[in-house]
Structure 1
Amino acid sequence: MTAIRLLLVDDDPLVRAGLSLMMGGADDIEIVGEASDGSEVPELVDRTRPDVVLMDIRMPSIDGITATARLRARKDAPEVVVLTTFHADEQVLRALRAGAAGFVLKDTPPAQIVDAVRRVAAGDPVLSPTVTRQLMSHAAGAEPDTRQVTARTRTDALNPRERDVAVAVGRGLANAEIAAELYMSVATVKAHVSRILTKLDLNNRVQIALLAHDAGLLDG
């Protein structure tokens, strides 16, 4: 089995050392590089080709949100998991909107951080619907009405079946669960998810869930 290539980005050398120690103990994870600021990320990604980037949010020059947005806009971008101190943080929500596939707290048990990297590398978001709702209620946008109108306009581009799948993704269902609920094959669900991502110019399932929430599709 090919090891998951991991890039660590944090401005605290002690945090990087701790992450390196815990990740280095996993047989299926290879640490290919470390960075102390978001400004170092593009060159390191080009050189090391990571599958996953574990990214601190708060850094002195270029923060993790900006670095994530720039990284996820690239072709064949690696997945990003953001590191944070507080789970109900507006910065976390901004990072997810920028394209992060999830987040972990810095005091999360090592085994759970390792599991998060594995899950994201496999294409699964590290974010539960409950946490999404907590984030939304704690860190609502400054212009929620405008955001809702914009989100509804974007989701209007979906056909009824795609909308059903988007809602199911927003509820945190896995592909197999969506397939069972909507009476379609897993392959068909995957095809719908791919079309939704392309049609709405999104880059992962977390962004589908956030857009569905913003549009009010998860209400009721």
Structure 2
Amino acid sequence: MTSKRAYKLQEFVAHSSSVNCLKIGRKSSRVLVTGGEDHKVNLWAIGKPNAILSLSGHTSAVESVSFDSSEVLVAAGAASGTVKLWDLEEAKIVRTLTGHRSNCISVDFHPFGEFFASGSLDTNLKIWDIRRKGCIHTYKGHTRGVNAIRFTPDGRWVVSGGEDNIVKLWDLTAGKLLHDFKCHEGQIQCIDFHPHEFLLATGWERFVFNVVI
């Protein structure tokens, strides 16, 4: 068998300080958004050396970013707990959402609806309605910070992973906890769903990841 060698496609200075988070747009797979310690959110075309947009507005480090499904909106959570929503076509802030009492370190858009989720070190997972301009539900249950969140591909559920070593599965329609996954021995750092199969991958401290069916 022959194996393909990996190589570096591109390297560029994305921020004036540390890059804290990034996300590639899933619709086109040609755009990249980054968030930095310099309080900026920058938008890039993959393969191009210069930012398409540099978005200002946060007054603390940006710790989470995400595109909506159409790649028209970007949500960014900051160390202050504030979440800002940008319209990329108009390059302006359309919402400033407050409610988290500590760092907002994870954001994810619903795959179909006009709302998104945010997770914070304040232990809460919040669901925000873009049209109603506010929080429509707060899921409480983690005893420590929420490090990672992800909607299921069908949009029925949302999953959160915490510093309490637990992954929680929440029902969006009923607004309640469906299941706790307590098979981890360290803080949950990252989670993601398989796009077509009923599989959830979770990564946690001690260099381990699980696949849950």
TM-score class normalised by the smaller sequence: under 0.3
More strand by share: 2
With the length of structure 1 as denominator, give the TM-score of the two structures: 0.26
More helix by share: 1
With the length of structure 2 as denominator, give the TM-score of the two structures: 0.27
